[in-house]
Structures are given as structure tokens and as C-alpha cells.
Amino acid sequence: MSATVVAGGGVRVSAAPTADAVGAGGERPLRFCMITTFYPPYNFGGDGIGIQRLSQALVRRGHHVTVVHDADSFVMLNGGEPTAPAPADGVEVIGLRSRFGRLASLLTHQTGRPVVHGATIRRILEAGDYDVVNFHNISLVGGPGLLQAGAGLKVMMAHEHWLICPTHVLWRHDREPCSGRECTRCVLSYRRPPQLWRYTGYLERQLEHVDLFIAMSEFSRAKHREFGFPREMAVLPYFLPGDGGSDPMVAAESPHARPYFLFVGRLERIKGLEDVIEAFRAYRDADLLVAGSGTHEAELRRQAAGLENVKFLGRLDAARLAEVYRHAIALVVPSAGYETFGIILIESFRAATPVIARRLGPFPEIVERAGAGELFSTQAELIDALARLQQDTAYRARLAANGRAAFFEHWSEDVVVPRYLELLRDAAERSGRVQTARLLSNGVTS
């Protein structure tokens, strides 16, 4: 199928090409529809990149993938169109637009229903005859009212904590991890209008339309349960494709003159970089390189003024980022809020770079599973870890090798994508979708 969004949100849909007709073993390929608010290049964070990687991996395995995302919501929040081009990767991408612009997003946010784009999405799903409809971040593209659309196996991946938190991130009053519900006061502190539908049981009723819920870590699953999420969740981590280029264990010239530690991520208060900058005010034996940008950047730069060992690199392309990962003593991950996973940790492991992460959220389970880093809670613990990894080269080398091995064992595409298909197959069997289960069984091994 190919579909083109035209003025007013209408869609022109053509028949599926004959190349889709037969797959491995005589079975036709699976047909997936990914529905999300954000998708690259109309994307801010790691969730959209994770959806893109999953979609590309499925296409490489011979399946058909359509992604439906809300272009208007990105443009509204970004203040303009993205600058990066969309890749030519075999994934069919439909960017929803309407003449209502930001009003469409506001209506969905406030009603929990796909007021503007609902009819368009339903036509896409009907025309595509999808085996699997995978919902991701649907907060602005349709809200919980979208979960009843489509006839295929329905899956929802919790890239954020939107199912249990109006702000998505369990970062209460924009200053601390959430330890208990104060939702109305909290959203007002973010200068957002409360979502009244969250107080009516509407979300819980719509969840009944979904066959499988997936959390990105054991921590996130437990946090959903703690905050009253009523459905069982499987756990499936993020993954990365391939090995990230050249072998990181082979010596090459460092891109930076002095030994350095690395921070990678959005420069927002919730990421906790302030604590690391203060640690480097005391720790002068190495530099801190900061890769990323964000709304908190100006304040962080003011904090680091006069510190010659703190360098801001801005946003880096993939090749440059891989290079700085490769030569870092360790990646420092200080997030002060509850992440659902932490893609940068497995990026670091793939590059054979150890991790020093805050003892919070999913980081302990990831670091301990890999045996490839240290955890900290206090600035003293952080400074001790910095010194230990810099001074004990044999210890650092052991952690680096552990991380590289753990990446291929737990978080590579060849491990995670078959597990995703297995989870879908099991859900199809439980819901009595015999043909879909058979196709998924074939997809696991194709």
C-alpha cells in the first residue's frame, strides 16, 4: 500500500504492490502499522528513534511497515519544520496534517480522542489490512480514543510513562521524581491544562482494546504497576542495529587532546547534568565533554563558566558521536528523573565504553546486567568512580569488554527483534488470531 496525505487530512490509498504478496516459506510478509505522535525527522527524543529502528529492522526482514505520525504536533512544539531529511529506508511514512494545525493537537490532548485525525487514521487502517497495529506515543495523534481503531493484533509500547502520568515523565512539579500523585497541581506547574478524561475511567475502558502492552524495562513495568496501571506488561528493551561501525577495541587517535568523560543527551533539568558539572569543578584530572542541546543549555553553560575542563560540543551527527563514545573513559548518565530505559547506555556498551550512572530508575538493572560500569547516588560517589575508571586501566578494560559482550547478548537487533515477534505471536495465540500467529511464527525465523 502507498498512501499520501493531502490537504485537510485526506488520504489517497493505492493497492499493495505485488512484491508484498509472498514471503519466506511461501507465507506472505507481515503488515505492520506503527502509530505515533513523533517520528524522525518530526521527532525530539529517543522514543521516535526507537520506533524508526524497529520499523527499519522489520523491513530488512521482508515485512511491510507503515508509520503514521502527527506532523502538525511536531511543528507546533518545535516552532517550525525539521531540518533533517527523511531517510529512504523502505518504511512507508504518512505524516498527518490538517488545516486546524495546533488546534487538532489541543483537542486530542483535552478530550483524549482523535477529534481531527480519527477518520483519516481509520481509513488508513482499513485500507492497509494490517496484521499488527502497534501504538507508541499517541498522546497528541489520537489519545486513548485511538486504541479502538483497526482490526489487527493491537500492541502498545510504553516509551514514556504517559499511561500513568499526564506529563509523561513522572517528574513532579518540574523539580523532583514523582513519589505519589499530585497530578492537577503538577500539570499546572508545567502550565498545561488538566486532562479531565483521566479522572473518568475512560483510559481504562480503552485499554481493553489492546492485546499486548510492552514496557521498556523491568523498572518501568514496576513503576506502571505502582501507579495503578491495570494491565499486565511484557518487557522488551530498546536495541541498536549492527556493531556501530569499526571495531572499538582497535586503537585509533582520540578526537580530544586530554582524557575525557562524556555526557550525551538533551540538556534539560531532568537529565541532572548540573550535578556532573559540579563534580568536575572538583575533579580536574580529565575533561567533561557534553554532547547535546536543549532548553536548559544556557543555564548549564553559565554554571560551567570558567571551568576549562567542561566542553559543550552541541548536537553531533552519528559518525562524530560514535567517535567520541569510542575514546571516552566512561559515559556519565546522571538523569534525575525516571527514565523508561536509557538508549545511551547501550550505545556506550556497543562502543566498548563503560558507564557511570545514577542509582535511579532502570539504570541499575542495565548496568548490573552488563557488568560494565558503576552507580552513584552522591557527588562523592561520582568523583570516586571517575577517579577509579581513569586510574585503573585494567579495571576499565574489563568493564569495556563486559559492555561490548553484553550489548550483543541482550540489546542487539538480532536478539531483540525476534523477541518482539515472539511476544506478538504469543499475544496472537491468546487472542485466537490463528493466521496472524502463524505468520508471526514464520517472521520470528525469517
pTM of the model as a whole: 0.91
Q: Residue 44 and residue 250: Cα distance in Å, rounded?
A: 33
Question: What is the pLDDT at residue 246?
Answer: 55
User: Which residue, among 281, 274, 276, 318, has the nearest Cα to 297 in the 3D structure?
Assistant: 274
Grid cell 559482550 — which residue?
Answer: 405
Rounded to 5 degrees, φ, ψ at 362 are: -85, -5
User: Which residue, among 204, 202, 212, has the nearest Cα to 155 in the 3D structure?
Assistant: 212
Q: Beta 310-314 vs 287-291: how paired, if at all? A: parallel
Report the percentage of the chain scoring pLDDT > 70.
Answer: 91
Q: Residue 110 and residue 122: Cα distance in Å, rounded?
A: 21
User: Which residue, among 294, 296, 57, 45, has the nearest Cα to 160 in the 3D structure?
Assistant: 45
Angle (CA) 167 362 278, round 5°: 80
Mean pLDDT of 295-301: 96
- Residue 434 banded pLDDT, cuts 50, 70, 90: very high
Instruction: Supply the DSSP string of 90-134, one letter for each residue.
Output: S-EEEEE--TTTHHHHHHHHHHSS-TTTHHHHHHHHHHHT-SEEE
Grid cell 487502517 — which residue?
Answer: 125
Angle (CA) 268 270 274, round 5°: 75
User: Which residue, among 361, 344, 364, has the nearest Cα to 407 in the 3D structure?
Assistant: 344
The residue type at 181: R
Q: Residue 386 and residue 182: Cα distance in Å, rounded?
A: 37
Question: What is the pLDDT at residue 3?
Answer: 40
Show the beta-strand stretches assigned E in 194-330.
212-215, 234-235, 260-264, 287-291, 310-314
Question: What is the tens place of the pLDDT at every residue in 266-296?
Answer: 999 999 999 999 999 999 999 999 999 999 9
Looking at the DSSP assignment, which residues form a beta bridge with residue 67? 34, 93
Question: What is the tens place of the pLDDT at every residue in 106-131?
Answer: 999 999 999 999 999 999 999 999 99
Grid cell 500539570 — which residue?
Answer: 187
pLDDT higher than threshold 70 for residue 205: yes
Three cell numbers, residue 289? 565533554
C-beta of residue 310 within 8 angstroms of C-beta of residue 290: yes
CA atoms within 13 Å, Cβ hemisphere of 53: 19
Rounded to 5 degrees, φ, ψ at 168 are: 80, -20
- Give, as one character, the DSSP assignment of residue 43: -
Specify burial of residue 156 (Cβ count, 10 A radius: 0-12, 13-18, 19+). Answer: buried
